[in-house]
Chain A
Amino acid sequence: MSASVQTTPELLGEPPVTPALGAEPRDWLLLLKPRVISLVVFTGAVGLVIAPGHINPVLGAVAIFCIALGAGAAGALNMWYDRDIDALMKRTLARPIPAGKIEAGGALGYGIVLSVISVLLLAMATNLVAAGVLAFSIFYYAVIYTMWLKRRTPQNIVIGGGAGAFPAVIGAAAVTGHITALPMLLFAIVFFWTPPHFWSLSLFASTDYEKAGIPMLPVVKGARHTRLNVLVYSLLLLPLAVSPWPLGLTGPVYGVTALISSLVFVYYCWGVYADKQDAKGVSLTKDKPARAAFKYSILYLFILFLACAVDRLV
């Protein structure tokens, strides 16, 4: 083939695609970001449990399935749009599109079809409020976060954090048909939890983000500024996480668990702030405190939601 008529993906600015043997079914499932889905299923299920009222178990299971499917669809749309920068980062290089296993157009169609199916199915199984919030959450993640904020501002994950906060609201709305106070507080908790969670990660993965040109806080403002922000957000999160208890929305089981686990989170974030560092704030300990804070942040959110569900059940 002559160079003049060559239209390889590389020349079109697309990641390389090798259609040779075709994708494995597993690759299509990986496009849905199964790790994220597992967290979404959990928070969505907690939303169902904490909602006042009753839902048929079959419809409840379908609601959780729809939340998971919608989150997966948003993940596929995210991978479609971010295929260029995914190919530049070690952490995302093996994703199905940059790895050349799935073509970009196929991933886009897949994401759109699954989005539509998840919203329609949820509307049919539960109600329009839950389906509407699910549709908005997909739009929020795929368009507001991925296409608009992610590459433009270091505050990307502060605002984008809302995307991961929707499942509990959707789960509760599936039961009640409207949006109540406790799920909104859980939304706020996830919203304020996301910045210290992601900024801890970005502290030890900042070279990857820098290479891809993503304006994460450590890349734009430096590590020292990021460390301070991690600590500040953890301090803001502390009273917010405990607030459902004094507001009478949960009992002491949740309140005490939230207080202790939040104090532990502040301790980890203090470790990030006080890490041994050079003049620019770059860690001299290979970011051990940031890695520990990142790991604990996942456990912390799990503990909060589990405590909320247990508190409702006991």
Chain B
Amino acid sequence: MNVDDRMPHTGLGQTNWTDEQRAEFLRRRRARNLLLLGALAGFCLIIYAVAIVKLHEYGQMW
């Protein structure tokens, strides 16, 4: 199994890419992954904060 088999739609296998294009592709993908990570972490933090506040103020979640 090579890189292309594992990631068939990433475009990494395009041989006509320059080094700059390949680097730009990887940079954008990393940025999207970091954004998704941040969004998921933020979502967990919000759930956690809401749970703490509601349990503290009302003694129940719903």
Give me the interface of A with B, judged by CB distance under 8 Å. Answer: 19-25, 28, 56, 58-59, 62, 65, 117, 121, 124-125
Cα-based distance from A134 to B49 in the complex (angstroms): 21
Which residues 3-56 of B have a CB within 8 angstroms of A? 9, 11, 14, 21, 24-25, 28-29, 31-32, 34-35, 43, 46-47, 49-50, 53-54
Residue of chain A at shortest CB distance from B52: A58
Q: Given A58-B50, A124-B50, decide whether A25 and B31 contact each other with a Cβ distance below 8 A.
A: yes
Residue of chain A at shortest CB distance from B61: A124
CB distance from A258 to the nearest CB of B (A): 35
- State the main secondary structure of chain B at its contact with A: helix
Residues of chain A within 8 A of B14, CB atoms compared: 20
Instruction: Bin chain B's interface residue count.
Output: 20 to 34
Whether the pair A21, B21 counts as a contact (CB closer than 8 A) is yes
Q: Given A21-B21, A22-B29, decide whether A28 and B50 contact each other with a Cβ distance below 8 A.
A: no
Whether the pair B32, A28 counts as a contact (CB closer than 8 A) is yes
Cα-based distance from A18 to B31 in the complex (angstroms): 18
Residue of chain B at shortest CB distance from A127: B62
In the complex, which of the residues A20, A21, A23, A62 has the most CB atoms of chain B within 10 Å of its own CB atom? Answer: A21
Cα-based distance from A125 to B57 in the complex (angstroms): 12
Residue of chain A at shortest CB distance from B25: A21
**Contacts across chains A and B counted by CB atoms under 8 Å:** 50
Cα-based distance from A23 to B28 in the complex (angstroms): 7
What are 19 A-B contacts with C-beta separation under 8 Å?
A: A19-B9, A20-B11, A20-B21, A20-B25, A21-B24, A21-B25, A21-B28, A22-B25, A22-B28, A22-B32, A25-B31, A25-B34, A56-B53, A59-B50, A59-B53, A59-B54, A62-B49, A121-B47, A121-B50
Residues of chain B within 8 A of A65, CB atoms compared: 46
Whether the pair B32, A62 counts as a contact (CB closer than 8 A) is no
Nearest first, the 3 A-B pairs at minimum CB distance are A25-B35, A22-B28, A125-B50
CB distance from B1 to the nearest CB of A (A): 22
Residues of chain B within 8 A of A117, CB atoms compared: 43
Residues of chain B within 8 A of A20, CB atoms compared: 11, 14, 21, 25
In the complex, which of the residues A19, A58, A121 has the most CB atoms of chain B within 10 Å of its own CB atom? Answer: A58
Cα-based distance from A25 to B30 in the complex (angstroms): 10
Cα-based distance from A62 to B49 in the complex (angstroms): 9
Residues of chain A within 8 A of B9, CB atoms compared: 19
Residues of chain B within 8 A of A124, CB atoms compared: 47, 50, 54, 61-62
In the complex, which of the residues B21, B24, B46, B49 has the most CB atoms of chain A within 10 Å of its own CB atom? Answer: B46
Residues of chain A within 8 A of B47, CB atoms compared: 121, 124
Residue of chain A at shortest CB distance from B32: A25
Residues of chain B within 8 A of A25, CB atoms compared: 31-32, 34-35
Cα-based distance from A22 to B24 in the complex (angstroms): 9
Residues of chain A within 8 A of B53, CB atoms compared: 56, 58-59
Residue of chain B at shortest CB distance from A114: B39
CB distance from A26 to the nearest CB of B (A): 9
Cα-based distance from A21 to B46 in the complex (angstroms): 32
Cα-based distance from A117 to B11 in the complex (angstroms): 31
Q: Given A59-B54, A62-B46, A65-B46, decide whether A19 and B11 contact each other with a Cβ distance below 8 A.
A: yes
Residues of chain A within 8 A of B21, CB atoms compared: 20-21
